[in-house]
A and B are shown apart, each in its own frame.
Chain A
Amino acid sequence: MTNSANSAISHGRGLVSRIGPLMSNPLTAAGVAIVLIMAIVAIFAPVIAPYDPLVIDIRGRLLPPSAAHWFGTDEVGRDVFSRVIYGSRLSLGVSFTVVLIAGVIGAMIGCFAGFEGGLIESVIMRIVDIMLSIPGLVMAMALSAALGPSLENALIALVVVLVPSYIRLARGQARSVKGNAYVDAARLSGLSRWHILRKHVAPNSVQPVIIQSSVDLGNVILVAAALSFLGLGAQPPEPEWGALVGTGRNYFLDHWWCVVFAGGAIVLTAIGFNLLGDGLRDFLDPRHSEGR
């Protein structure tokens, strides 16, 4: 027990002392900076946004970018800049929520499956195989259509789509952790299976899930935006970025500002998450290093 506790502590200490090298990679640092800026924008949206994102001004509709409206106005005269600023709350919120929930659920089920083994594991893994054989966006579309199109239901659909891959990762790791001497030692010292799973196997099995979820943050932003764009996620007038592009699409040939800025925000955020995810992966799992 102390053995793994010690290793967990030293692991934690190592993590802190290695944050420096992580940030020394300029690309990763750029990713961190982008994500931080986006997070600040999301938190302080009411302070930053000059207008209420939902207030309609029909007389000022489809105005090009100007000093009063940096990103112009949309088809009912709402300030696009304010809407993009507020949109960061929805997009970042969805991405973090989905990855967090899916990661926790996936890690728990995966650890349990890998640790228990036998019939339970086979059944769980067969189900995972089946879920993974349906392309993600198709599954998400079917689910959000079935549950009724809304941002909350898109969120549930995305969690369902992500969980199986995390289960697979955690289960693989738990299986190999289970074979370690300290787990045998814990078992021989009479600790309960539940205790061993919780204190020894689980903490050492979550790393692949953490790595993958950091990479997935960027993907989830894109898929969530795509669902909203298609009308299966956030519903107008919610200022979700994908939904902004989806509505702006009807006007964009003559009013480019309706789609350019919201889409640019998606690209920028996704780049930030992808850089951060790659950096974290190389840092936590040097085997995947791309030979820098």
Chain B
Amino acid sequence: MRHVRLVAERIIGLCLVLLGVSAITFAISHLIPTDVARMIAGDFASEEAVAAIREELGLNRPIWSQYLIYLRGLLSGDLGVSIQTGQPVLGDLLRHLPATVELAIMALLLAVIIGVPLGVIAAVYNGRWPDHVARIFSLIGISTPSFWLGLMLVFFFYGVLGWLPAGGRMAVEHFGFPPVTGFYLIDSIIVGNFSLFLDVSLHLALPSLSLAFLLMGGFVRLIRASMLETLREDYIRTVRAAGVGHWRIIVKHALPNALVPFVTALGLSLANLLTGAVVIEAIFMWPGMGSYILDAAAALDFPAIMGFTVIAAVIYVLANFAVDLVYLRLDPAQERRLS
């Protein structure tokens, strides 16, 4: 366990980063030109009522004291109370979390299932037509705004063909079914309702495909580059000389090594998934964190916006930490890179 020290150092660094994030969100929320107390009280509230709210929120205190109060709240999981819903922000976000996570996981799966083989094929047929097709595909992937792609998919699969629903997580006739985990795919299996499962899957199809497309282009490029590099290695030539079959070499010997840098990309793509979800949820009326935060942004609900920013940073930082740990297992020679 010589890595214990390294991991401990990383955890300390992680805490410092999160402390900094809290300072930034605090600073941003004090940038706002709006009078928050006035907003909560409403336009017709008396001066006394506004003053009372200001007192209650601690807005009269010195700025450092406000920050300490904010920080103490954060540490105990208190992200403040949403102006819009009147509920604690953390609870609101957690309620919306399963919808977003379900969407993100499906998108990630699709992106990997399509992107990785395409990248491998592009590298194997380097310079020939499958390579060109894959590269054009990835170029379009990284150049297409996900909100537009989502709308185009809705236009064709809902508007023209009528095959798939345009939005929401399930059809109206399934409304009122009591969520167990909040992950509807799992929930429908738990309650053994096959038609619900099918309905939920159909509703997931377009949003997850739009979101997946956002990642796919990057995945194809990365896998292709990493595969090309691996295929040039000496050990591949050795295996080939030993008479191992072409595709066997690629899948068994080259791909596992080419996937190592991909692990880091997965961690980084989490940021894309999170932010991409905001846009995609807006299009598909998907009741996740993205929709919640957009409503909050439209209503200038700062506790909610800042709460989401903190949570997004926490998820992102933790995911990259986890990726580093996996990396360390996969490739111990990278130890120096991390320290």
Which residues of A line the B interface, CB within 8 A? 126-127, 129-131, 133-139, 141-143, 145-148, 218, 222, 225-226, 229-232, 242, 245-246, 249, 252-253, 256, 259-260, 263, 266-267, 270-271, 274-275, 290-292
Contacts and interface: CB of A to CB of B under 8 A. Distances in A.
A229 B33 contact: no
Given A226-B145, A242-B147, 19 more contacts: A126-B16, A131-B24, A133-B18, A134-B312, A135-B275, A135-B313, A136-B275, A137-B279, A141-B293, A141-B305, A222-B143, A229-B279, A230-B279, A253-B158, A253-B159, A259-B152, A263-B151, A267-B144, A274-B143
Contacts of A141: 278, 293, 297, 305
The 8 lowest CB-CB distance pairs between A and B, nearest first, are A130-B20, A263-B148, A137-B275, A270-B143, A135-B271, A271-B143, A145-B297, A134-B313
Interface in B161-204: 166
Nearest to B312: A138
Nearest to B150: A249
A19 B139 CA distance: 23
29 contacts: A127-B20, A129-B17, A130-B20, A131-B24, A133-B17, A133-B18, A133-B313, A134-B316, A135-B312, A137-B279, A138-B312, A141-B297, A146-B29, A218-B143, A226-B279, A229-B145, A232-B297, A259-B148, A259-B151, A263-B151, A267-B143, A271-B139, A271-B140, A274-B142, A274-B143, A290-B224, A290-B228, A291-B228, A291-B229
Interface of B: 13, 16-18, 20-21, 23-25, 28-29, 31-33, 126-127, 139-140, 142-148, 151-152, 154-155, 158-159, 166, 221, 224-225, 228-229, 271-272, 274-275, 278-279, 282-283, 293-294, 297-298, 300, 302, 305-306, 308-309, 312-313, 316-317
Contacts, number: 142
Contacts of B225: 290-291
A141 to B, nearest CB: 6
Contact of B21 (A134, A260, A290): A134
Contacts of B20: 126-127, 129-130, 133
Contacts of A259: 148, 151-152
Given A137-B275, A143-B28, A290-B224, A249 B151 contact: yes
A290 B143 CA distance: 18
Nearest to B298: A231
Consensus secondary structure, chain A interface: helix
Contacts of A229: 145, 147, 279, 282
A230 B278 contact: yes
Contacts of B21: 130, 133-134
Contacts of A139: 309
Contacts of B293: 141
Given A138-B308, A252-B155, A267 B140 contact: yes
Nearest to A134: B313
A291 B126 contact: yes
A126 B278 CA distance: 28
A222 B147 CA distance: 10
A259 B156 CA distance: 13
B275 A145 contact: no
Contacts of B24: 130-131, 134
A226 B21 CA distance: 24
A86 B175 CA distance: 45
A223 to B, nearest CB: 9
Contacts of B145: 222, 225-226, 229, 242, 245, 263, 266-267, 270
Contacts of A147: 31
A134 B152 CA distance: 30
B147 A226 contact: yes
Contacts of A266: 144-145, 148
Given A135-B316, A290-B225, A230 B294 contact: yes
Residue of B146, B229, B313 with most chain A CB atoms under a 10 A cut-off: B313
B256 to A, nearest CB: 20
Nearest to A157: B28
Contacts of B298: 231
A230 B297 contact: yes
A130 B283 CA distance: 31
B294 A142 contact: no
A290 B132 CA distance: 13
Contacts of A245: 145, 147-148, 151
B152 A263 contact: yes
A148 B313 contact: no
A143 B24 CA distance: 10
A253 B155 contact: yes
